[in-house]
Structures are given as C-alpha cells and as structure tokens.
Amino acid sequence: MAGIGHNGGPSMAAGHGFRKVAWSRARAALLPSLPLEIVRLRVKRAERLGLPYKTYATVRAVTGHDIVGFLFSDNALGMHRAGEMPAASRARLAALEGAARRLVAVHGASAPQAWVEPGLIDAAGLAPSLATPWRAARDNLRALARQADVPVDGLVVVAATALEREWSATAGLGGTIARDVMFPG
C-alpha cells in the first residue's frame, strides 16, 4: 500500500511497454526541431537585437512572434528628464535602429512627446503609475504600441522595477526583459 503523496511507482499492468513508447514519442513531438538555417537566422536576429539567444528564443517560443519593438521605461534608460540620457543607454538605443522600434514610457511627465528623439526613440507615452486603474494602464500601453505601429505581442518591455515588469501581462505584450539583460555591466 502506497503512502500519501506516493504514486505507487510504474504500473505493471499489461501494455506498460507500449505506454512508455507512446509517451516518449508524444514528448519528443512537443519539442520543435528547426532546420539549421532557421536556427542560424534566429541567432543572427538575436545578435542584431543585442540579446542572448536563449532570451530571444524564449520570447519567440512563448509568443510565437518575433520581437519587433522594445518598450523601455525611463527608469530602465536611466533618464530623469527629456534629452538627459546616459551614454550607454544612448548607444544601446542607436544600435537598435532598423532592428526594432524603440518606445519609452515616461513616469510623471507632462509632455511625453518631448522625449521622442529621431534615431533613438520612436514614440513616447505616459507610464502607468501605482494609482492607474488596470484598464487605463492596459489602454495606455496598447495606445503607445499603436502610435508606434507595433503589434502588442511583438513588443517587449525592458523593465527596471517590479511595477514595470507587470506591464507586459497588463497589456498583453510579448514579454519582459530585465534592464540588466539589455544593459549588462
């Protein structure tokens, strides 16, 4: 007699060998096998986005879509006022030109459009605050994606705080990447 929480071990009933083979094949079928050339293209795409391949592949596997834009918080960029961006953030955004759209959600700014800088930031909008109702936060983030002509499931949040990490789930975005992944060191 098996104890509580014990599954009793493998079944010794007839058909055990068949069930084991069927289960193994079913699990193997769940894992995609991509042609080598597709893997090479995706590795190059990850490099162009400046992401580790594992991070890129994870976002791609979860959403089923490519990353076409990044939504940075002003915190993740280290910005405190429009135009005042650390050199590392400026270089990172410039490197993304042509590879992905660059959006920024600004906390407490009266005119987020003043943050748009051609060649660095494609679109800007207000970041949801702690007091922003969920529906309004979702609508604001989705409106920012529409403004930049980016599909919401292709937009990845680059977050510096726990509140910002929730934006992806709130608006149905493609995922969240920690600031340290985009700005290592």
Residue 172 domain-assigned (yes or no): yes
Residue 6 has pLDDT above 60, yes or no: no
Query: For position 111, which CATH number holds?
Result: 3.40.50.1000
Phi-psi region of 50 (alpha: psi -120 to 50; beta: other; left: phi over 0): left
Q: Quick check: is 148 in a domain?
A: yes
* Domain extent at residue 118: 65-182
Phi and psi of 104, rounded to 5°?
-135, 135
Whether pTM > 0.85 for this model: the answer is: no
Phi first, then psi: give them for residue 32, nearest 5 degrees.
-70, 145
Which candidate, 63, 71, 126, places its Cα nearest to that of 96? 71
Q: Could you read off the pLDDT of 111-134 as tens digits, one per residue? A: 888 888 888 999 999 999 989 999
> What is the total count of domains within the chain?
1
Q: Which residue has the higher pLDDT, 32 or 126?
A: 126
